[in-house]
Amino acid sequence: MRLALQGIRVLDMAWVGPGPFCATILGDLGAEIIKIHEPDPEKRGGLARYALPDAPDFPGIRNCKVMGLDLKSDAGRNIFFKLAKTADVVMEGYRPGVMKRLGVDYKAVKKANPRIVYASLSGYGQDGPYRDLVGHDLNYIATGGLLGLTGVKGGPPVPPGTLVADLASGGMGAAIGILAALMSRHETGKGQFVDVSVTDGIVAMMYMWLNPHLTYGFNYERGDTIFTGQHPWYNVYETKDGKYITVASFEPWFYANLCRLLGREDFIEHQYAEGDKKEEIFKYLKRTFLTKTRDEWVKILKQKDTCVAPVYSIDEAVSDPHLLARGMIREMPHPALGSVKQVGSMFKLSGSPFQVRNWSRKFGEHTEEILGELGYKKKEINSLRKAGVIS
């Protein structure tokens, strides 16, 4: 069965930040991912530690090949351009200007392959006053306004439980931009440059609050919006066993069901109450949820449509029967370990089902294979390796 992106070759030089998730998305959809790293990756401790740690039970990175290549050398750049002529996408995650200094920026690659889609992933984008600033996920969600709205009213901003900027606005955003550029190329025959700013993505994701502010001047405070604790029917409550339950009864009919199951039909007409009445409802829900365990409440409240769910620990999440049934946690075949459990693909395409095609477990693992496909002989490969051009 043909995979959705089968036949698309991606040269990936975005090893940290949003790059790995974007590569996973494209690889899981069938693209051939060739991850290019410097010949001695140990020089970059973060890369070696997080991307391919030297551990016997580490499964590696799925659906990609790994190649060590020195882009600072003439021989390395020559190999890169030969590869670029065979590629559909180049993806890099360096600071703006680095690829130009190396001589492998979009302008240079475009000369070799006018059909190339070249994506540059960075924290703040390729232009603007912040283009050269270093940063990480927390900085980007702070600049985009997300962190300022995250947390309880009267409390400090609270970092979210995952890398929202790198993964959602960066990784998924880059994948969307790349796929859009590939679709455009299908019609025009020409590639293009894709400038992915992680911070831009966060700002786009904040449209629900930023647009009303821009249009009407509305201001929003932490813990004071519908989705950050303003109302008792969209909130998180502690239960008898010290765990937590989420209530998101946004629609009036769901809220009415919640009130009935909690024995307070008199609250139904006061969904958007303010002042003392809202505080009364808050206090009742807090007090009531403390009378039973989390799972007891979930069982009770799921009798009707109420929009409730338990707050899971990591161990509980990966054991949830629904997530298992959906293939989000699954056993995957592995050449060395037999099989491994991993997070599955978020995409369910009826004609192009997800599959694991290969694993990369060490740096430079596929360098010789890739060079062989380009026509390099064993003697040439050995010479390049001895010169430190490849690994």
For each successive 10 residues of the chain (391 residues), what is the average pLDDT? 96 95 98 94 62 86 96 97 98 97 98 98 98 97 97 94 97 98 98 98 97 97 92 98 98 98 98 97 98 98 97 98 98 95 96 95 95 97 96 92
Q: Which of 136, 195, 270, 334 is catalytic?
A: 136
Reported for 222-229, long-range contacts at CB under 8 A and 24+ positions apart, including other chains, are 222/148, 222/149, 222/150, 222/151, 222/152, 222/153, 222/155, 222/157, 223/151, 223/152, 223/153, 223/154, 223/155, 224/153, 225/149, 226/250, 228/149, 228/150, 228/151, 229/152, 229/153
Three-class SS state of 157: coil
Going from the C-alpha of 200 to that of each of 96, 144, 195, 316, the distances in angstroms are 15, 7, 10, 33
Quick one: tokens of 370? 């890739």
Beta-sheet strand order (sheet of 193-197): 65-68, 32-37, 9-13, 89-92, 117-122, 193-197
> From 3.30.1540.10, 3.30.70.1090, 3.40.1280.10, 3.30.390.10, which CATH number describes the 226-238+244-310 domain?
3.30.1540.10
CATH 3.40.50.10540 fits 9-204+326-386, yes or no: yes
Picking from 235, 234, 231, the residue whose alpha carbon sits closest to that of residue 270 is 231
User: Would you call 166 a catalytic residue per the annotation?
Assistant: yes
- Is residue 98 within 8 Å of residue 104, measured between CB atoms? no
Q: With a threshold of 0.85, does the pTM exceed it? A: yes
Q: Which of 166, 200, 231, 366 is catalytic?
A: 166
The segment(s) of the chain belonging to CATH 3.40.50.10540 are 9-204+326-386
pLDDT value of residue 47: 59
Quick one: tokens of 119? 């994506």
The segment(s) of the chain belonging to CATH 3.30.1540.10 are 226-238+244-310
- Is residue 145 within 8 Å of residue 206, measured between CB atoms? yes
d(CA 62, CA 60): 6
What does the DSSP 8-state code read for residue 390?
A: B
Quick one: tokens of 383? 């010479």
- Is residue 242 within 8 Å of residue 265, measured between CB atoms? no
User: Would you call 136 a catalytic residue per the annotation?
Assistant: yes
Give phi and psi for 24, each to the nearest 5: -65, -45
Picking from 252, 243, 206, the residue whose alpha carbon sits closest to that of residue 228 is 206
